[in-house]
Amino acid sequence: MRLSHDDLIDHLVRSTALQRGEAARVVLDVLAYFDETTEEFVRRRHRELKSGGAVNTEIFERIAAELPHRAVAPPELSLRQLRRMVYG
């Protein structure tokens, strides 16, 4: 089976110490990371930051600051909208 990202995998194999299988896994992991919806990203980051001991005030401000730097940035969301994504 040939992946549609063979050129990128070939580039990683040439430019790093990764073997082809490792490079393919990295490409698929990166694509999955950027395939997250905004809501999935917000929920995941909330869980990660909460487990690191952060409090909600800090968490939602940090998530709001991170969102514009995503590969495809969503529209600006209020802190209330972010909270609703996590808690419904």
List per-residue pLDDT tens for the chain, 88 residues long: 455 799 999 999 999 999 999 999 999 999 888 888 999 999 999 999 999 999 999 999 999 999 998 877 788 999 999 999 999 8
Tell whether 30 and 57 lie within a shared domain: no
Whole-number pLDDT of residue 1: 41
Cβ atoms of 77 and 64 closer than 8 Å:
yes
Residue type present at position 60: F
Q: Which two tokens stand for residue 42?
A: 């917000």
Whole-number pLDDT of residue 32: 87
pTM score, whole prediction: 0.66
Number of domains in the chain: 2
Containing domain of residue 58, as a range? Answer: 38-87
The gap from C-alpha 33 to its chain's centroid, in whole angstroms, comes to: 4
Tell whether 68 and 45 lie within a shared domain: yes
Tell whether 25 and 57 lie within a shared domain: no
Tell whether 27 and 45 lie within a shared domain: no
Tell whether 77 and 45 lie within a shared domain: yes
Tell whether 58 and 22 lie within a shared domain: no
